[in-house]
């Protein structure tokens, strides 16, 4: 039975916490030391100090640390190294490894490797105390990597993975060469924003010529950039990045419907919606909302905070529903709230936890734990009313582990470590191959058939979320740290002993 009322039980990538608390969001979150003038288009404001937290708690309501479980942390680290050695053996310098065939492939442009897995892995190596690997990766980037490439790169993926990865690598190591590469790349991406008549970025930009293309794209690709660009503006004192990202967000918000919802895809030249489906918290819109809250969390931008709260209220009103005792979010017509679909993506689980005690995020996590219980490995998408599989693949998604870490970090409830450990055990059982880790093509079959692909985000996310959950590493500031939607630590990295 479907219960559309949430009154009985209040309810990643960071957004759902705010639905319940009317104000806190994180899904992979990123936090920066500086503060920015609310709604301003100018340079960052001077760093602002946070109010003191209660003893043993972080400023955002999280426990100030994670109780170490050294044995489990060692197992997680060992499996990360198994995956990494497969990449080094078969694909070093290329973007991604095909661990079954022992080949490689490029992610952005055929024939143009940028060492994506190397950049993705940088801060994970640092957190795990793999300093020789940090040095190896950083030296490859500074000695070999050149972004003067005559090819179209996707702006969204370039920002969260390459710009974010280089930023995290710089924050971990202090190597100026990493920051120089980051600035060079961001400058090559900026034409996607500045050439747009609305300020919303084009989908692709040629890194050599600045030619832009792809005028119709989803919200996540339009608005998932203010954290990386804001950090870069603070580090360099150059506010062009922040202003471009903020302008893009404002352009989207101005196009919300009369009931306060957004659809999924916009034409960035005309400013017109290309569809009518309000699909939050699912991709391809999820991280748009996450980054609205992140702009408040990181830079104290009150305008972004207020936008987020407005959307959170509308999402609760028109999209949240219960099937039995499980919380889900339906897809609706963004103009009327009429039901369109009850499909749910496994990526959505990471949208909710953000800070403090979050009943909404906990409810949604338990909904996806029920999916884990039923299928052992979470499928890409389900029909949540029937709990049936819509897409049977599992592309090594990290979102469940992401959510488990965030909720354990915030609450200290051992339930989240118990379920995260089960996720890890299944990851090792069903995705591990001699050459590393690979995708599963059908979670409903036994034995589960494997594909031949290790996405580069595995080195940034899956094992990192798990390691942070169990290690209590001194290289991460559990009281103040914050991670991006791609699992990049943009605040809270410590140098020195792991």
pLDDT in tens, 59-69: 445 555 688 99
pLDDT at 56: 37
Let me know if 47 is exposed, middle or buried by CB neighbors in 10 A (0-12, 13-18, 19+).
exposed
Amino acid 178: pLDDT: 98
Task: Find, among 95, 46, 49, 41, the residue nearest to 229 by Cα.
Answer: 41
Q: Rounded CA gap, 155 and 201, in Å?
A: 8
Contacts of 114 (CB under 8 A, 6+ apart): 95, 106, 108, 145, 147, 149, 162
CA angle 28, 33, 36 (to 5 degrees): 95
pLDDT 10s digits, 93-104: 999 999 999 999
Beta bridge partner(s), residue 454: 97
Task: Quote the pLDDT of residue 354.
Answer: 52
Within 346-409, strands assigned E span 381-383, 388-391
Q: What is the pLDDT of residue 358?
A: 74
CATH, domain 2-39+47-491, list 1.10.1740.10, 1.50.10.10, 2.40.50.40, 3.30.530.20: 1.50.10.10
pTM: 0.90
Q: Which two tokens stand for residue 428?
A: 């090792």
Predicted local confidence at residue 435, as pLDDT: 98
The span from the CA of 200 to the CA of 397, in Å, is 28
Q: Which residue has tokens 């959505």?
A: 348
The whole-number pLDDT of residue 350 equals 86
**C-alpha to C-alpha distance for 217 and 399, rounded to whole angstroms:** 22
Q: What is the mean pLDDT of the chain?
A: 88
367 contact partners, CB below 8 Å, separation of at least 6: 326, 327, 328, 384
Max intra-chain CA distance, the chain = 60
Q: What is the pLDDT along the chain (498 residues), one digit of tens a residue?
A: 333 333 322 223 333 333 333 333 233 332 223 333 333 454 344 333 333 333 333 444 555 568 899 999 999 999 999 999 999 999 999 999 999 999 999 999 999 999 999 999 999 999 999 999 999 999 999 999 999 999 999 999 999 999 999 999 999 999 999 999 999 999 999 999 999 999 999 999 999 999 999 999 999 999 999 999 999 999 999 999 999 999 999 999 999 999 999 999 999 999 999 999 999 899 999 999 999 988 998 999 999 999 988 998 899 899 999 999 999 999 999 999 999 999 999 999 987 655 344 788 899 999 999 999 999 999 999 999 999 999 999 999 999 999 999 999 988 999 999 999 999 999 999 999 999 999 999 999 999 999 999 999 999 999 999 999 999 999 999 998 999 999 999 999 998 755
Query: Are the C-beta atoms of 28 and 350 separated by less than 8 Å?
Result: yes
């Amino acid at each position: 039975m479907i219960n559309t009322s949430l009154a009985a039980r209040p309810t990643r990538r960071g957004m759902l916490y705010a639905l319940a608390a009317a104000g806190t969001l994180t899904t992979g979150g990123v936090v920066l030391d500086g503060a920015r003038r609310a709604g301003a288009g100018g340079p960052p404001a001077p760093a602002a100090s946070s109010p003191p937290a209660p003893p043993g708690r972080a400023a955002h309501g999280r426990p100030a640390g994670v109780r170490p479980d050294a044995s489990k942390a060692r197992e997680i680290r060992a499996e990360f190294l198994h995956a990494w050695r497969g990449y080094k053996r078969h694909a070093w310098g290329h973007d991604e490894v095909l661990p079954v065939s022992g080949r490689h492939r490029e992610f952005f442009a055929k024939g143009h490797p940028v060492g994506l897995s190397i950049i993705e892995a940088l801060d994970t190596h640092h957190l795990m105390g793999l300093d020789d690997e940090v040095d190896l990766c950083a030296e490859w980037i500074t000695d070999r990597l050149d972004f003067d490439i005559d090819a179209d790169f996707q702006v969204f993926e370039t920002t969260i993975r390459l710009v974010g990865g280089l930023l995290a690598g710089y924050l971990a190591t202090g190597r100026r060469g990493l920051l120089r590469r980051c600035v060079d790349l961001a400058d090559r991406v900026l034409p996607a924003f500045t050439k747009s008549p609305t300020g919303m970025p084009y989908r692709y930009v040629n890194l050599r010529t600045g030619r832009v293309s792809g005028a119709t794209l989803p919200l996540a690709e339009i608005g998932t950039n203010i954290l990386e660009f804001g950090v870069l503006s603070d580090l360099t004192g150059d506010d062009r990045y922040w202003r471009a990202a903020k302008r893009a967000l404002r352009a989207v918000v101005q196009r919300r419907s009369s009931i306060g919802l957004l659809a999924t895809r916009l034409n960035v030249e005309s400013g017109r919606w290309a569809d009518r489906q309000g699909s939050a918290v699912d991709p391809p819109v999820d991280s748009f909302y996450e980054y609205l809250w992140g702009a408040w969390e990181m830079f104290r931008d009150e305008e972004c905070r207020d936008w987020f709260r407005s959307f959170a209220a509308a999402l609760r009103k028109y999209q949240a529903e219960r099937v039995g005792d499980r919380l889900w979010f339906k897809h609706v017509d963004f103009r009327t709230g009429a039901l369109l679909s009850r499909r749910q993506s496994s990526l959505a689980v990471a949208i909710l936890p953000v800070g403090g005690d979050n009943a909404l995020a906990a409810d949604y996590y338990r909904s996806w734990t029920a999916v884990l219980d039923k299928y052992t490995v979470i499928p890409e998408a389900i029909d949540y009313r029937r709990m049936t599989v819509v897409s049977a693949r599992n592309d090594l998604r990290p979102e469940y582990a992401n959510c488990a870490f965030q909720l354990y970090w915030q609450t200290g409830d051992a339930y989240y470590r118990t379920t995260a450990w089960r996720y890890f055990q299944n990851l090792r059982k069903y995705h591990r191959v001699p050459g590393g880790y690979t995708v599963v093509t059908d979670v409903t079959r036994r034995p589960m058939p494997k594909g031949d692909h290790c996405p580069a985000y595995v080195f940034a996310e899956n094992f990192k979320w798990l390691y942070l959950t169990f290690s209590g590493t001194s290289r991460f500031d559990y009281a103040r740290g914050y991670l991006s939607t791609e699992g990049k630590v943009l605040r809270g990295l410590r140098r020195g002993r792991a």
